[in-house]
Structure 1
């Protein structure tokens, strides 16, 4: 995370706008995505940790938002970022409608291991994606740590016929990932670590254990681009930049992170604005020809007003930012000014 002094809390709150955006399809149990946006000298930043995250975890997201709004971002190596379509755990019959929102993306990330669903549901969903993408399309699956080792081995063997690019976070712990990777070695199926990186006190543990081939990095959960780039460099593994159903402001931070990676061999999970039925800017980071452009975007006053959260929810987000700011102060005392 940045070592620059924190801006005053009152300054952050002075430009704060909280929005509630409808989703095209239910995702992570919600049909609206709330996000807090504020403006700094470099542009707008987004703070949108999921609602269940406590102040300790969410404070890292606030650090990222501050870094993006107040600090220049690392120099880019590219401006065009290839992206994947994201297919939630929908019935197979709904897959075509989801993919249609992404246009010409060659890669799809398919959610699997959803609570209350079966392996047959996963197989049907992935099969539908393969039918629509054709043999040249790339398919990766994301279990969000939903399987134990035996379940993951069985499921991935069943899904192997669809020629998977990689499997993301099939199991929860680093030890489980390492065991699964060893079991699957002869299948030549790479494993990617997401939660084992962004939710870990030691994001490099997965690399030291030889538990993954790819690290998934996200700008907000990791505290901003500089920390994410440092993790990739130290891990020595291929990286994929992903998002958490951000507004286009948050996606812009992820796209600029992807642009700053020295090497980028995989499409990134930065096309998720396609899952939003509304956004905060007319310049949405929607995929065009399978890619987004790495650039900052600014919200429009009209769209901020149209999608403004209720006063109660706005007050809730203000309190949350205050709580997270206090955590950051404890970690890195501000020398810029007092609140």
Structure 2
């Protein structure tokens, strides 16, 4: 079932949620919550994304609110902590918000910071979590090939599970894997932006540019389409979030729960970065995991009082509604939206 634009607009509430810490330059997360016949959904493409990108995010919201989700094959999903590009002394308080998570993703390559800052942050994560914890770093494609080789050689001494999107292009990722292998640096490469923002998300696998793929429900157009991408890539997958509310995170849990193969903890604990949420009990990991049943219940626990308390001002509401209208028009013409 594909709703009309008028139905989407009638179902939409736009909110702005304050964050505990600055993350990816964001201090408050704006999102559109949509109440559909199948449950609550979320549409929250970042403001700088194009309408074409936003249309894919809308596909995920329509699947969640007006369609059906694939069946789960597991009852719980392991979750990693997420550490923004903070000073070392701020690392401990952030990790304390994640109940007994033994995996941490650490942001690196932040604008205005140096490799020494990244090293200090990652070392502090190791000191807090201990020698058996798994640590992965995420550069969001900010390094050149030479910078990535230098940085990952240095960071590998701390012990890394993998490096997420160290360089921007697929070609650079492929070259980086070869360069690290020649240098004897054992750091697997994960592709994120090269999957979720690519016209051809499977090119990474064809070019041998990654050891695993990071998939996100909203940017890929929904749970079912993300599953097809993982199947086509033929690589281990990590499910991650796009700084979602607990509603969006619940859909990420459903994707992780439906994948036939899941070997890594997933980046679905980012509700810990929000100061406020749209549900009274945010979807946070317990003992490093999230139960699928709890994720499903979260989608039904959206608080209308919270939606009213954090709604945006009229001008911003109009901006999102105009964007929704444009994205819905694009979505209606996309062939991928109706592919089985």
Q: TM-score, normalised by structure 1?
A: 0.95
- C-alpha separation in 2, matches of 1:71 and 1:154: 46
Corresponding residue for residue 261 of structure 2: 263
- C-alpha separation in 2, matches of 1:156 and 1:241: 23
Q: Relative to 1, partners in 2 of residues 1:8 and 1:332: Cα closer, same or farther, differing over 3 Å?
A: farther
Corresponding residue for residue 160 of structure 2: 164
Q: Which residue of the other structure, out of 206, 209, 212, is the alignment partner of 1:208?
A: 206
- C-alpha separation in 2, matches of 1:141 and 1:29: 17
8 Å contact 1:216–1:241 — kept in the other structure?
A: yes
Counterpart secondary structure, 1:7 = coil
Corresponding residue for residue 115 of structure 1: 111
Counterpart secondary structure, 1:273 = helix
8 Å contact 1:285–1:293 — kept in the other structure?
A: no
Corresponding residue for residue 327 of structure 1: 330
Corresponding residue for residue 148 of structure 1: 144
Deviation, 1:41, is: 1.4
Corresponding residue for residue 187 of structure 1: 185
**Cα shift readout 1:26-51 (whole Å, capped 9, x = no counterpart):** 11212100000111111011000111
Corresponding residue for residue 64 of structure 1: 60
Deviation, 1:53, is: 0.6
Please, which runs of 5 or more residues in structure 1 have no aligned partner?
none
8 Å contact 2:156–2:186 — kept in the other structure?
A: no
Corresponding residue for residue 243 of structure 2: 245
Please, which runs of 5 or more residues in structure 2 have no aligned partner?
none
Deviation, 1:187, is: 2.3
In the TM superposition, 1:272-311 aligns within 5 A as 272-294=270-292, 295-296=295-296, 297-298=299-300, 299-311=302-314
Counterpart secondary structure, 1:131 = helix
Q: Which residue of the other structure, out of 8, 15, 32, is the alignment partner of 2:11?
A: 15
- C-alpha separation in 2, matches of 1:283 and 1:137: 27
- C-alpha separation in 2, matches of 1:107 and 1:278: 24
1:48 aligns with 2:51: no
Q: Which residue of the other structure, out of 197, 200, 208, is the alignment partner of 1:199?
A: 197
Deviation, 1:319, is: 0.5
1:102 aligns with 2:105: no
Deviation, 1:332, is: 5.1
- C-alpha separation in 2, matches of 1:191 and 1:333: 28
Computed over aligned residues only, the root mean square deviation of the Cα atoms, in angstroms, reads 1.4
- C-alpha separation in 1, matches of 2:217 and 2:105: 19
Deviation, 1:333, is: 11
- C-alpha separation in 2, matches of 1:130 and 1:34: 32
8 Å contact 2:106–2:135 — kept in the other structure?
A: yes
- C-alpha separation in 1, matches of 2:280 and 2:28: 19
Q: TM-score, normalised by structure 2?
A: 0.95
- C-alpha separation in 2, matches of 1:238 and 1:91: 32
- C-alpha separation in 2, matches of 1:290 and 1:10: 41
Number of residues paired by the alignment?
A: 331
Deviation, 1:222, is: 0.1
Counterpart secondary structure, 1:39 = strand
8 Å contact 1:6–1:334 — kept in the other structure?
A: no
- C-alpha separation in 1, matches of 2:257 and 2:213: 16
8 Å contact 1:248–1:280 — kept in the other structure?
A: yes
Counterpart secondary structure, 2:217 = coil
Which stretch of structure 1 is more off in the superposition, 251-260 or 177-186? Answer: 177-186
**Cα shift readout 1:307-334 (whole Å, capped 9, x = no counterpart):** 1111111111111100100111222599
Runs of 4+ in structure 1 over 4 Å off: 332-335
